[in-house]
Amino acid sequence: MIQIEKLRKVYRGRGREVTAVDGVDLTVAEGEVFGVLGRSGAGKSTLLRCVNLLERPDEGRVVIGGRDLLALRGGELRRARQGIGMIHQHFGLLGSRTVAGNVAFPLEVMGVPRAERAKRVAELLELVGLTEHAGAYPARISGGQKQRVGIARALAGRPRVLLSDEATSSLDPETTASILALLRDLNRRLGLTVLLITHEMDVVKRICDSAAVMRDGRFTESGPVPELLARPGSELARGLFPLPPAEPRDGSTLIEVTFTGGATGEPFVSALARKYSVDVNILGGAVETVGGERVGRLQLELPGDPPQNAAQLAFLRESGLAVEIKNPDREDAR
Partner 1 sequence: MSWDEVMPLLWPATRETLYMTGVATLFTAVLGLLLGVLLVITERGGLLPAPPVNKGLGVVVNIGRSLPFLILMVAIIPFTRVVVGTSIGNAAAIVPLTVGAIPFYARLVEIALREVDPGVLAAADAMGATRREIVGKVMLREARPGLVSGLTVTVIALIGYTAMAGTVGGGGLGNLAVVYGYERFETKVMVATVALLIVLVLLIQAAGDLVARRLTHR
Let me know: does 302 contact 316? Beta carbons within 8 Å: no
Could you tell me which residues come within 8 angstroms of residue 301 by beta carbon, excluding any fewer than 6 positions away?
246, 248, 249, 252, 253, 254, 255, 280, 281, 283
Which residues make Cβ contacts (< 8 Å) with residue 49, sequence separation at least 6?
Answer: 55, 165
Q: What mask, x for binding partner 1 by CB under 8 A, covers residues 155 to 174? A: --x-----x-----------
Q: Does 106 interact with partner 1 (rule: CB under 8 A)?
A: yes
Neighbours of 158 (CB within 10 A): 12
Nearer to partner 1, 90 or 238 (CB): 90
**201 sits near partner 1 (criterion: CB under 8 A):** no
| Closest separation in Å from C-beta 125 to partner 1 | 17
CB of 86 to partner 1, least distance (A): 4
Q: Which residues of 39-50 are buried (b: 16+ CB within 10 A; e: fewer)?
A: eeebbbbbbbbb
Between 81 and 297, whose beta carbon lies closer to partner 1?
81
Least spacing, CB of residue 175 vs partner 1, in Å: 19
Q: Is 108 among the residues that bind partner 1 (CB under 8 A)?
A: yes
C-beta closer to partner 1: residue 43 or 106: 106
Count of residues binding partner 1 (CB under 8 A)? 32
Binding mask 3-42 for partner 1 (x = CB under 8 A): ----------------------------------------
List Cα–Cα distances, 90 to 44, 144, 177, 207, 218, in angstroms: 16, 11, 17, 21, 25
- The CB-of-116 to partner 1 minimum distance in angstroms stands at 17
Q: Is residue 213 within 8 Å of 44, Cβ to Cβ?
A: no
| Residue 105 C-beta: closest distance to partner 1, Å | 7
Separation of alpha carbons 226 and 99, rounded Å: 39
Find the binding residues for partner 1 in span 45-104 (CB under 8 A): 52, 54, 77-82, 84, 86, 88-97
Q: Kindly tell me which of 141 and 269 has the beta carbon lying closer to partner 1.
A: 141
Q: Give the binding range for partner 1 (CB under 8 A) out of 134-142, 269-277, 284-292, 299-307.
A: 134-142
Q: Residues of 222-253 as b/e, b for ≥16 C-beta within 10 angstroms?
A: bbbbbbbbbbeebebbbebbebeeeebeeebb
Nearest-approach distance from CB 206 to partner 1, in angstroms:
24
Stretch of 137-145, 237-245, 264-272, 273-281 lying at the interface with partner 1 (CB under 8 A): 137-145
Shortest distance in whole angstroms from residue 109 CB to partner 1: 5
Q: What angle do CA 21, 4, 73 make, to 5 degrees?
A: 95
> Cα separation of 71 and 86, whole Å?
21
Determine if 310 is a binding residue for partner 1 (CB under 8 A).
Answer: no
DSSP state of 247: P
**Interface positions with partner 1 (CB under 8 A):** 52, 54, 77-82, 84, 86, 88-97, 105-106, 108-110, 137-140, 153, 157, 163
